[in-house]
Amino acid sequence: MRVKLNMRLPSLAALAYSGGSDSTFALDFLGRTKRIAYLLVGDHGTETSRLGILAAYKAANRYGVDVRVFRVEGDSEATWGRSRFEVCQRQSLPVITAHHFDDALEWWIYTSLRGHPRVMPKVNGNILRPFLRAEKSVITEWLLRNKLEYVDDPSNHDGSNMRSKLRALLPALESAVPAMRAALRKRMEEDGYEGEGELQEGADEEGFEEEPADEEPGADEAPADDDDGLADDDLADDEEEGDEYADPNE
């Protein structure tokens, strides 16, 4: 089974982890390569967070990694996203998130509706998003094939925030505009997201040890982060007060 990557993986990193489907996939994928030093887990003070923290400690035993839990400040998706972003920037290691192609599609549509279409950045400060070429269907297949359990976050599909509302509309949008995914892939290819290699499950990963080239986020780029508490489902903060669209990844 092949998983497309859009950057070379660092030799050692932290993984933003929430226990959700995407970060569970990322840990299983990267845990096989011994690249993860610790799981960075956000505590939002919710039941979903509690379950995610329990899942993190359980996973840590399985993959031989450490767990670092931090309190997420704020009272909304937007403020939570900014809090998580700030914590990521304080880490001494790069922080990998599990954002995938479907998250990038949501973010592209959302920013287009706001009048400034942007491709989700693969590097944003200390945050790395190596899975932006991988479709959600590939992640789902990986989870099923490897019989991996994960925590379901109701906010990803209950219509309580802009992210889940847009996600519910995606099937109709894709039906109306079948070329939408191809258009984003073309844009990503033009921006240098494509053609940087694939990793096969269990394959030799020689050649993917180099650190990714430094890329500073543009001044107009929102500090995107990753849902799953801090890592799996985050669209990105749009840097506007009160903007609730701050979590794409589940």
Q: What is the 3-state secondary structure (H, E, C) of 190-206?
A: HCCCCCCCEEECCCCCC
> Which residue is listed with tokens 């050649």?
207
Write down the pTM of the prediction.
0.79
CATH homologous superfamily, domain 11-194+218-230: HUPs (3.40.50.620)
Cα atoms in the Cβ-side hemisphere of radius 13 Å centred on 57: 6
> Residue ranges per domain, the chain?
11-194+218-230
From first to last of the 250 residues of the chain, give the pLDDT tens digit. 788 899 989 999 999 999 999 999 999 999 988 899 999 999 989 899 999 999 999 999 999 999 999 999 887 777 888 899 999 999 999 999 999 999 999 999 989 988 988 899 999 999 999 999 999 999 999 999 999 999 987 666 655 677 778 888 888 988 998 999 999 999 998 888 864 555 545 433 333 333 333 343 332 333 333 343 333 333 333 333 223 333 333 3
> What is the secondary structure of 136-190 as a DSSP string?
HHHHHHHHHHTT------GGGTSSSSHHHHHHHHHHHHHHH-TTHHHHHHHHHHH
